[in-house]
Amino acid sequence: MGMLDSADWGVIGVYFAILGAVVWAAARQQETSTDYFLAGRNIGFFAIGASIFASNIGSEHIVGLAGQGAATGLAMAHYELHAWIVVLLAWVFVPFYYQSEVFTMPEFLEKRFGPRPRWILSLVSLATYVFTKVSVTVYAGALVFKTLLPDTFGSPENAFWVGAFATVALTGVYTVLGGMRAVLYTDSAQAVILLIGAAAITYFGLERLGGWGELQAFTATNVAQFALWRPLSDPNFPWLGILIASPIVGIWYWCTDQYIVQRTLAAKDLRTARRGALWGAFLKVWPVLIFLIPGLIGAALNHKGLLALPVDAAGTTSGDQVFPTMVAALLPAGLRGLVVASMLAALMSSLSSLFNSTAALFTVDVYEKLRPAASERQLVVVGRIATVVVVVLGLLWIPVMPLVSKGGLYQYLQSVQGYLAPPITAVFLLGLFNSRINNRGAVWGLGLGFVLGMAKLLIQSLFGAGKREEPALLAAIGDFNFLYFSGVLFLICVIVIVVASYTSSPPDQARIRGLTFDSIDRKAVRASWGRREVIATAVVLGLVAAVYVYFSFWV
């Protein structure tokens, strides 16, 4: 396996020097909790959109998506074509969040429903950040070190652990010191490096393969494995399941999750928040071409004998090492260092966003509720301590990751999110568009939804084909497709929320004014958009449609 040479290390060194300068500048402006968690609410649209994109595209995306591309082709592309849902964030959700002047999504739920839904969402979000986002991101980043620097630290296993601890520690330090401002500014630079790095892999991979026609020819040899749309008989990605589950997960992730939405709350006004989300939507169009397609290219190169992809003990391709292998084998010196820097950028931008969002959730939704008299200085200190705790918990969970991600990192992440998303999506959508939905409906919907989702996850890990096959009922539940289950769980949550709300007294309409579609300040919303926003929206939706049409019929 190719090693990094002095030119590569030089590029990586320059990248970290620039990063350090940005953090040092940002760290001097952290006087209040608004400074620390929302960068003083005076950030421009470019930084917001770039941060939305860079926070989303972590190393688990680069590593996991390329692996999925090699193994299952374009089946997971539907999740990466969620730019249209980011447009929903810009036009539908952002006005409610920005006008309510909240710090966190659980805080918005309290304003809309009351304290109990806030507590439920806060605690569930904190737990899932540690068990999915932190651990998956760090695990993927460590795999890069293991593949690219197998002998630098004595053995590949040592490289894995050095990579995991070093990146977490560095990211933790700059997030603790610089707060949200450091996250936003570094994300802007990292988004650019990320796009350049991944585009380079696509270019050099196609050049080695012999061009786009060769990739199409390879894909055509096994359409069932690599196609965008799978038949209903497909056990993993039936097209109907994708159509049902993808929007449910997408609306939760892009429109209601603290991790993403917090960026728009840092805008200096509603128009800037909307533009930031639309810029993020435009950037989100490209991952299919620069992350999934390289995986397909890797599989095609492997098939033609032009690249040796690593295999596991069973002789199957190790999907999560496809991208690092291509970096080492295909790229020239210097550019290889830039791509490694881009992968580190992806890892660190996702982690820093995650650390800051988690600190905001804990400080605003847990600590400040328990200690309402806390000073601004205390809140910033608690936020920094919370960041350190999350870093430690994420590291402790890493040894478990190889056990739970055997189907591929990206697929693991999507199945877990498919069980967490339905109750949150249902509560937010019904809460915004139906002013009759009340506290009891939200509590029952969130509570029952999370219990059922976690029950399915537990049963799936223990029962089913190849695991325990008795009793038959539990085995059937374990094998029930995760995409269809998302739809079933969403429907159950909607019914529970509506029935619980309509069988109890309606909420006080004066208290929820401005928090529902029929009571929002329409004049302020209308003043926040014009021709530019409409054109940007048309461009993004047009690009998404074009990608769907092309890849639906490309083989």
Per-residue pLDDT of the chain (555 residues; tens, 9 = 90+): 446 788 888 988 888 888 778 777 766 665 666 766 666 667 889 989 988 888 787 666 777 777 777 777 787 788 888 999 999 999 999 999 988 888 889 999 999 999 999 999 988 888 777 767 777 777 777 777 777 677 777 787 888 788 777 777 777 777 777 677 777 777 777 777 777 877 888 889 899 988 888 888 888 877 767 778 888 888 878 889 999 999 999 999 999 988 889 889 888 889 999 999 999 999 999 888 777 888 888 888 888 888 887 776 666 666 667 877 888 888 888 888 887 777 777 777 777 777 878 888 888 888 888 888 888 888 888 888 887 887 777 677 667 666 555 555 556 666 778 888 999 999 999 999 999 999 999 999 999 999 999 898 888 878 877 778 888 888 888 888 889 999 999 999 999 999 999 999 999 988 899 899 988 989 989 999 999 999 999 999 999 999 999 888 876
| Single-letter amino acid, residue 218 | F
Query: Within 28-58, where are the H helices?
Result: 33-38, 45-56
Residue holding tokens 């609306």? Answer: 251
Domain ranges of the chain: 6-21+37-552
Beta-bridged to residue 468, according to DSSP, are 463
Class of domain 6-21+37-552: mainly alpha
Contact between 509 and 250 under an 8 Å Cβ cutoff? The reply is no
Using CA atoms, how far apart are residues 399 and 513, in angstroms rounded to an integer? 48
DSSP per-residue string spanning 502-530: HTSPPP-TTTTTTSSTTTS-HHHHHTT--
Q: The dihedral of CA 29, 177, 138, 130: what is its sign?
A: negative
pTM: 0.84
Distance CA 312, CA 68 (A): 16
Cis peptide bond upstream of 399, omega within 30 = no
